[in-house]
Amino acid sequence: MIDQCQLSEQSEVLTAAVPVRVLRSEIQTVMGPAFAELFSVLAAQGIAPAGPTLTLHTKLDPDWFEFEAAVAVATPVAPSGRVVSSRLPAGPVASCIHRGPYQELHEAWMAFKGWLSEQPVQQLPFIWEVYRVGPGQTPDPAAWETELVKPLVPPEPS
C-alpha cells in the first residue's frame, strides 16, 4: 500500500492555493471546483504550475477538514477570488508513496503513521498530499501515485 518511506529535508515551496473548510463527508465535492478556480486564476495571470497539484491539510478534525487545494508556482499569484499565495514550509519531513485509488488514502495514512511511530522523530500537527499521478494523467486508479508528507520538528542545534 505504501513504499519509498523516508526522512528528508524539504525546501520551501511557493504555492498558489484555495483555502477550504468543509465537512469531512463533503471533501470530494469541493476539490474539483477549488482546483478549477485555482487554474483559472493562474491562466488569467499567465502563471504556469511548477509541479503537480497538492493539498495542505492544516486542521484534521473528526468532522471538519481545513486545507488548501494548491499547486507549486515559481512566482507569487496575486490574490483573486478565493485564490491566495501560500507555501509549503522548509524543514525536515517524513514521506512515502501510495499507489492506488484515492479511496485507499485513509488506509495508506494509517500505514504511514505506523511507520512513523517507529522513527525517532517528533511530528508537527499538519500534513500534505502531492498528487504525482492522478486522473488527469491516467484513468486507471491503480496507477495513481500520491506522496504523503508529514512535517517534523527540526532537531535541536548541537
The domain in which residue 31 lies consists of 2-151
User: Residue 156: what pLDDT?
Assistant: 83
Residues 63-77: tens digit of each pLDDT: 898 999 999 999 999
106 within a domain of the structure (yes/no): yes
48 within a domain of the structure (yes/no): yes
56 within a domain of the structure (yes/no): yes
157 within a domain of the structure (yes/no): no
Neighbours of 49 (CB within 10 A): 16
Residues 105-132: tens digit of each pLDDT: 999 999 999 999 999 999 999 999 999 9
Quick check: 88 and 17 in contact, CB under 8 A? no
Task: Provide the CB-side half-sphere exposure for 78 (13 A, CA).
Answer: 4
Exposed, middle or buried by CB within 10 Å (0-12, 13-18, 19+), for 13? buried
C-alpha cell read off for 157: 542545534
- Count of domains observed in the chain: 1
C-alpha cell read off for 46: 499567465
C-alpha cell read off for 131: 498528487
156 within a domain of the structure (yes/no): no
Pairing of strands 127-133, 13-23: unpaired
Exposed, middle or buried by CB within 10 Å (0-12, 13-18, 19+), for 48? exposed
81 within a domain of the structure (yes/no): yes
45 within a domain of the structure (yes/no): yes
| Prediction pTM value | 0.94
Residues 2-29: tens digit of each pLDDT: 999 999 999 999 999 999 999 988 988 9
CATH code for the domain of 14: 3.20.80.10
AA letter at 48? A
158 within a domain of the structure (yes/no): no
Identify the sign of the CA torsion 59, 60, 62, 68: positive
Instruction: Please choose, from the candidates 91, 80, 90, the residue with its C-alpha nearest in 3D space to the C-alpha of residue 47.
Output: 80
